[in-house]
Copies of this chain bind each other. A is one copy, B any other.
Amino acid sequence: MQNRVIINEVGLRDGLQNHPKRLSVKEKQTLYLALRKAGVADFELTSFVSPKAVPAMADAAELVAAIPADPAVHITALVPNRRGYARAREAEMKGVAVVLSATETLNQKNIGMSLQTATDECIAVILAAKQDGIFCRAYIAAACACPYEGRTDQAVVLHLAQKMVDAGADEIALADTIGAGNPAQVERLFGAAVEQFGASRLAAHFHDTRAMGLALSWVALKSGVRKFDASIGGLGGCPFAPGASGNLATEDLALMLEQSGYETGLSLAGLVDAAALAREMLGGQVGGRVLPWYSSDRARKERERGAA
């Protein structure tokens, strides 16, 4: 059990929400099925957010309806507020995720609410979800640093997380939203969070902006955490800045975990195929950092098989 790690695929939500290219419901469904084929069983599929604010997620209900029922799969959708929650419930979602940014300014800029109002809104959604028997994750965003306020106070992160747990949140996802965390900070943060909440209630959401995504994941893993968000092909980075990847790539994380003796239940070949499919759909720079190695390694092995 201790060696089993869950990778929660957030590419279809976090990876696509700001992407300049829009995918159809059919394309998203195809990408979902490729990920299922690779063994992915945990998805943050979409976001029931205002279609005006995030046009790429306007098809949330339609996408949920297009995904075949599968008892082996655990699907959540992000809900920014009670209105989003009502839509998710109507779409018969069995899991939702609320997002609370750890700083005053990020809440203001992101959702136009004060930190207090955002906290109250998250609590209202959690209470409703628990009442309805729906799984509820709570993100604490900007858990390492805020783009406006700099380094985040760990005590504030843990305090907000406690409020979410007190309201009934099933899971706390500590999110390094802008990829500004460093291993020493993450070691302290997750060490304290595991002590306060227990490892099984925690998930880690890292970005690879400053190349530290895998190092941060390793540190969180050592703290005891066994659930990690990742995005196929690193989707969610800026496609116009080669190398400036955003989300940690699912295939990079899976390779590190599998080679280190952890079980993810994922097929690396399948993930690479899914990343290639994403590249075909979206064009441009898609693919985490192990893809070039994997591709040349696979080609070499095929040549050797041909020669043998």
Whether the Cβ atoms of A211 and B259 lie closer than 8 Å is no
1/0 contact trace for A82-106 toward B, CB 8 Å?
Answer: 0000000000000000000000000
List B contacts of A242 (CB < 8 A). 242, 292
For residue A210, CB closer than 8 A to chain B, the reply is yes
Asked if A131 is at the interface of the complex by the 8 Å CB criterion, the answer is: no
User: Which B residues lie within 8 Å of A287 (CB)?
Assistant: 243
Q: How far is the CB of A285 from chain B (nearest CB, A)?
A: 9
Minimum CB–CB distance for A301 against chain B, Å: 13
How many copies of this chain? 2
A182:B244 contact, CB within 8 angstroms = no
Q: Say which one of A53-61, A67-75, A194-202, A213-221 lies at the interface with B.
A: A213-221
A252–B289 Cα distance when bound, in Å, is 14
CA distance A252 to B219 in the complex (A): 17
Contact of A241 among B209, B255, B296 (CB under 8 A): B296
A residues whose Cβ falls under 8 Å from a Cβ of B: 179, 182-185, 208-212, 214-215, 217-219, 241-244, 252, 255-256, 259-261, 287-293, 296
